[in-house]
Chains A and B, each alone.
Chain A
Amino acid sequence: MGAKLPPSGLFLNDKGEWKHAGFNHPFVVALDYAPNDPTTLYLAAGNGLFRAAKRGEEWTQLTGSDVTELRDLAIDPTDAKTIYFAYSHGIRVTRNGGESWEELATTLHRRYTEAIRVDRTQAKRIVIGGEEGIFRSENGGKTWTIAGASGFQILRIEQSPHNACDWLATTQGGGLFASHDCAKSFENSGRIGVGRDLYSISFDPTNPLRIAIGGWGPGVAVSDDGGKSWQERNQGLPRPDVWSVIFDPEHAGRLYASVQEERLYVSDDAGLHWRAAGLEGSVAWRMKFIP
């Protein structure tokens, strides 16, 4: 009947204790929430897109049989009913809170999409990463223009919380790509991660010059100069294979990292020293602070 899987899905930490919320589900890979209601989470998962109300406890599947194996999602910060997600065969958007969906990838040469973000200052600007690079739309996904990293598979895209025109994207094998022109173009950003795979980006909300990335090989790498140079900070981590990193918005320099099937680690000095932070044996695909 299949092996009993360890607990999986959504885990919340409130006041230092990890708590499993909602259902076991092995492929919850991304989450987001609307600024006006952070108690309702949205989950990109194997079965589809879920609305997880009451801080993740009450799940409702918002998609049907026509989409599977979701990879990422993003909520329009100006309209909580507009939700985008990337999945195995394209990009979908709802503009009515999940009652109906529209496919946005029909004009892309290859539809597989791994990463998606909505520009927090320009809601019609959507930036996606897929099999063939980074693409940008200025009209809510109606049309797409290549924006960089052509030929590389994109693994993650993030927008700086400090400067809305600064973006970073990570790739499979191609390293890090940066945009400083509002996602119009992305250029390779040095040697960090080249030949390996970078899965995560976190801009430090408390320090505009500090950025962390996580990946397999580089582990955790931190830049203190806005991405000009990078330092691998893995001392104290059991292996340099990291799925996700995130800075704590309320504690300057506090950085979390999920290490492959080890546990979550936390550093209070931006990665110089690490200590265990729970979730033994886990893989945390994505982490997010919820107000």
Chain B
Amino acid sequence: MAHEVHPMRYVVLVSLLFALHVNAGVPDFKERADAMIDAYAHYEGKGDYGYAEIAARLKRHEQPEWCSKKLEELLAAGPTGDMFWMYPVTAIAYLDQGQLSDSARQALRRVWKTYMPYRGDTENHFLLYYSCLYLMAQYWPDAGPESWFNGKTSQANMEEARQWIEGWVKLTTTRGQGEYDSPHYMGVYLLPMSYLAAWAKDPAMKKRAEMMLEYLIADYAPENLDGLFVGAHARIYEEQLLERWNGVSTDFGWLWFGLGHPLKVPANYALYYVLASAFEPPELLKRIATDRSKPYTHYERKRTRNRWRFYDDLHGPVYKTTYVRREYAVSSDQGGALQPIQEHSWDVTWHVPDAEGVQNTFFFNHPYSSMKELQTFFVFPPDGAIEGIIKSKKTYDSPEKLLGGSAYEKIGQDQDALVALYNIPAGTRFPHINGFFSKDLKELTEDASGWIFMRGGDATYLACRPLQPYEWKPMGESKRLFSPYLQNGVVVQAAAASEFPNLAAFSKAIKALPLEFETAPTPRVKFRSLRGTLIEFTYGKAPILNGKAIDYENWPLFGGPFLQADVDSETLTMTYGNHRRTLDFKRLTVTSN
């Protein structure tokens, strides 16, 4: 008779395994969440945090008179921020719980008639707008058209919002997010789902939101290194591009998994997340997020933002590859202008004990500034558009910029080897490529072979081979590789320092790897990686790995050891060891073993 494990004993064993990963000394989830609320509720600096402080104090049931007075002051001053105004006041409405004065409550009601929030032009804008509209229409279910800024009834607003939210969930779970994997805007997706999970009365909407929270956290879990959200990203801000710790994802890495430590003042997206459902990820996701004992490659399919012009399809596919191990991560998309302005297509990010203030990242880009790009994704008229963009995204039209994808960049990756090729048409604005060489890279050596060798942190060795001559440009304490050639490229190989006695041994091993390349007429590389894979990559063609072209047609929505989902499936299976957890959005069910 086969040995049988008693079910109860099995559960106990699983719990024990899960418990082992918890870091000693790290406060538990509830304590971390509470600290985020306290940072706003008990703010003691100059001024106040406005709506966020009101919401945090209401959550704590503290100082209701101050909350009422402050709310009336803010509303009387006039709302600003459009859909970004909607989420704090929605939270305040639901956190009120009888604490606000009648006068404050009436002021809150009036403003939904007198202020018209702009719905925006991107996915996160719409999700905020419709989630808040849904909840406020639910809050005043019988209000007529005269009570709303858009002249619609509560019933009509709720139905319109429901349809959009359900459509977004379906699109995300079939074709991926358009504004995918943003270390900043991830908060703007988590926040409305947290609201709906906490406050939606419709059981289906509530359940869908709870499942989407898990889905969004799963989307982050395998692509984090010590809590840092590694590339590629649809959107990232420059502060976080170079200093990966410096942004919203850090707060969520800390909150969910106790990784790293939080920003001095947590992002208010994280605050509102914990003020609503404060969803704690299941243990399985915690394991996926923290177990880096074995290297793995994770795959994702996403989609482009809406392409209004120049393409036959509204959305194009984005194919992501992310290789992660304890020491570093290498991540990429396939290249191209997949998103406007803030796309980040590939990088290597390495482990450091404390990432605060550290530029632990390495990448190249083509500084692409193009009216065609803007008109693809926006309805801008041609004149004044770039001037308008640089009012808020200041480097968009700068030759020094390191942020942004390019129509003239193509990328191939296998594990921790990556090839980026550039084929820039003559006459293109900024006919050069930039490479970011962080101040925190050590032992940088320009070898006579053309390879550049360096060390990232104590645990990572990096090699890169620019395909064309270059020069160095200063960039604060860091520096920028500048290579002014239209046909160009770079080969990158990372390795763990533990694999070699020293950097010299790593360099020797890299130089022994077969490498052939040409830049004209079309950039092309043939490279045998450190892991033994023959990478053959010609600009404009699918990369060939060990003689087989990458099969983009069958790229999964999620693939790899931890997450599995087929395109169009509306499901996601999370796997860790023998444990599986499946989210099924068609049936709105969650199954675990």
Contacts and interface: CB of A to CB of B under 8 A. Distances in A.
A2 B126 contact: no
Nearest to B51: A1
Contacts of B167: 65
Given A23-B116, A24-B116, A197-B382, A61 B314 contact: no
B118 A25 contact: yes
Interface string A191-215: 0000001010000000000000000
A1 B81 contact: yes
A154 to B, nearest CB: 12
A160 interface: no
A27 to B, nearest CB: 7
A153 B381 CA distance: 10
B118 A47 contact: yes
A171 B383 CA distance: 12
B47 to A, nearest CB: 14
B10 interface: no
Most buried by B among A1, A27, A88: A1
Contacts of B375: 153
Contacts of A68: 119, 121, 126
Contact of A1 (B84, B130, B150): B84
Interface string A84-98: 000011000000000
A88 B379 contact: yes
Interface string A23-45: 11111000000000000000000
Given A68-B119, A71-B379, A197-B382, A59 B310 contact: no
Nearest to B392: A3
A241 interface: yes
A64 interface: yes
A25 B120 CA distance: 11
A258 interface: no
Interface string A149-178: 000010100000000000000001100000
Contacts of A109: 312
Most buried by B among A3, A27, A88: A88
B118 A89 contact: no
Contact size class for B? Answer: 35 or more
Nearest to A243: B381
A110 interface: yes
A25 B163 contact: no
B152 interface: yes
Contacts of A228: none
A15 interface: no
Contacts of B120: 46
Given A89-B308, A199-B381, A59 B118 contact: no
A89 B313 CA distance: 11
B469 interface: no
Interface string B147-181: 00111100000001101100100000000000000
Contact of A2 (B80, B149, B306): B80
Contacts of A153: 309, 375, 382
A268 interface: no
B75 to A, nearest CB: 12
Contact of A241 (B84, B161, B383): B383
Interface in A99-115: 109-110, 112
Contact of B118 (A4, A27, A199): A27
Contacts, number: 93
A130 to B, nearest CB: 9
Contacts of A23: 115-116, 149
Nearest to A26: B118
A216 B161 CA distance: 39
A143 interface: no
Interface in B278-314: 306, 308-310, 312, 314
A237 to B, nearest CB: 15
A155 B381 contact: yes
A110 B375 CA distance: 13
A65 B126 contact: yes
A26 B121 CA distance: 12
Contacts of B306: 88-89
Most buried by B among A26, A153, A173: A153
A131 interface: yes
Nearest to A53: B151
B82 interface: yes
Interface string B379-392: 10111100000000
B160 A58 contact: no
A3 B375 CA distance: 24
Contacts of B88: 1
Contacts of B576: none
A172 B379 CA distance: 13
Given A89-B308, A112-B309, A69 B379 contact: yes
Contact of B381 (A1, A89, A197): A197
Contacts of B431: none
A173 B372 CA distance: 13
Contacts of B51: 1
B139 interface: no
A259 to B, nearest CB: 12
B150 A59 contact: yes
B80 A5 contact: yes
Given A2-B80, A47-B118, 14 more contacts: A1-B81, A1-B84, A3-B80, A4-B80, A23-B149, A46-B120, A59-B149, A59-B151, A65-B160, A65-B167, A88-B308, A89-B306, A216-B382, A216-B383
Interface of A: 1-5, 23-27, 46-47, 58-61, 64-65, 68-69, 71, 88-89, 109-110, 112, 131, 153, 155, 172-173, 197, 199, 216, 241, 260
18 contacts: A1-B88, A4-B78, A23-B116, A24-B116, A59-B151, A60-B151, A60-B152, A61-B150, A88-B379, A89-B308, A110-B309, A112-B309, A131-B309, A155-B381, A197-B381, A199-B381, A241-B384, A260-B384
Interface of B: 50-51, 78, 80-82, 84-85, 88, 115-116, 118-121, 126, 130, 145, 149-152, 160-161, 163-164, 167, 306, 308-310, 312, 314, 375, 379, 381-384
Closest 9 CB pairs of A and B: A2-B81, A60-B151, A1-B81, A65-B164, A23-B116, A216-B383, A61-B150, A4-B80, A88-B308
